[in-house]
Each structure stands twice: as C-alpha cells, then as structure tokens.
Amino acid sequence: MILARNVVWRYLRAANDPSYKIEGIRIFFSAPAPKEPSSETLTIDKDVSMEANFQWISYQVLFSSTVGEEAPKYYIYDIGLDTDGTEKFPDKVFESDSDWSGKNKNSPTRDISPGEVRRLFPKVLKGPNLFPVKSGQTVYVNTTKGEEETYSSEEFKKEFDNNFYIVLNSKTTRLENPFGEPLGRKGVK
C-alpha cells in the first residue's frame, strides 16, 4: 500500500511540477550529406528499388530540474530508435550539464525514472515526436561517416524532405521519406 502511494505521489509530482523544463532536443540519424548527394545507400541490394539511404538512430531530451533556490540539475532522457523512427527500449535518464555532457550515459540516475520523464513531457516523448512543434529546441544530428553535422528543424526539413532520402525499414514494403511521405513500394521501379 505504501509503495502504491509513493508511485501515485511521484506521478502527480512529475505531471504537475513546473520546476522541470526542456532545455533542448537532439534527434540523431544517418544519411548521405545533402550538400554532396550521391548514390550512397545504407543497404545494398541487387535491385535499386529495394535500397534505402536514411535511418533514425536515437532521441535525447536535455531537461533541467530546479528545487527551491538551488542551482538547476540537468538530465538527459535517452532512447534508441529503430531505423524507421520507432522507439527501441530500454530508455534511460542520466545526469548531465547544460552542455549535453554524456559522461554519465552508462550510469542512469535514481532521481527520476524514464516513466516520470515521459509523463512530464508527453508531447515530445509520445512516439517519440520526431518533428516537435517548438522548432528552436530541436537539433537534428547527422552521424554519417563518424562525423556529426547539425541542422535546425527548418534546415532539416529543407534538406531531407524530398524523394532522394528513403527510410530504411525492413517491417514494410512501403518506401517513405523521413517525413513519412510515401515514395512507392519496395521492388517496384
């Protein structure tokens, strides 16, 4: 009974607590650089109509927590993504700083659980939302060839919302661009 009360209390605290604030969102993906488009693919198939050249990798939210007049504490919520952008559990929360430090990535915090973070920020963590409304908070990070190139939401849409980029997805025969727009079917030229 006490455990159930604690869970309910933690849920209500998280859902109604204004002391938690999103500082930024980073969405990682891999795709050929748009400034140097080529025939690069992430899959190699004998049939060109089966190939793809874009995959989602992970999703991170940097958020702060302020209690009383203490300095804010920073955390990163981290979840891997399947190539098609669906969540790949387990997710985790670890302590960070305002500069997105990942040094504690392998040491999840006990201060706040991933479930509490999802309840705090349902609009950006439902799905997860790969195209959040508040575009200034979101940075897209292309990790192709071991390098990281960043794009604002506007730049990402401008560069990757076209028929050249096809999302790697083994679960369906439907071909889509990163924004979910249909581009045809696998095996159909």
pLDDT digits (tens, 9 = 90+) for 51-97: 788 999 999 999 999 877 788 999 999 999 999 999 999 999 999 99
Range of the domain at 93: 2-185
Give the closest residue to 117 by CA, choosing from 90, 89, 93.
Answer: 93
Q: Is the pLDDT of residue 46 over 70?
A: no
Domain count along the chain: 1
Reference 148, options 39, 47, 38, 57; nearest CA is 57
pTM for this predicted structure: 0.84
Beta strands in the chain (DSSP E): 20-30, 55-65, 73-81, 87-96, 138-142, 149-152, 174-176, 182-185
C-alpha 115, offset from chain centre: 16
Pairing mode, strands 174-176 and 73-81:
unpaired
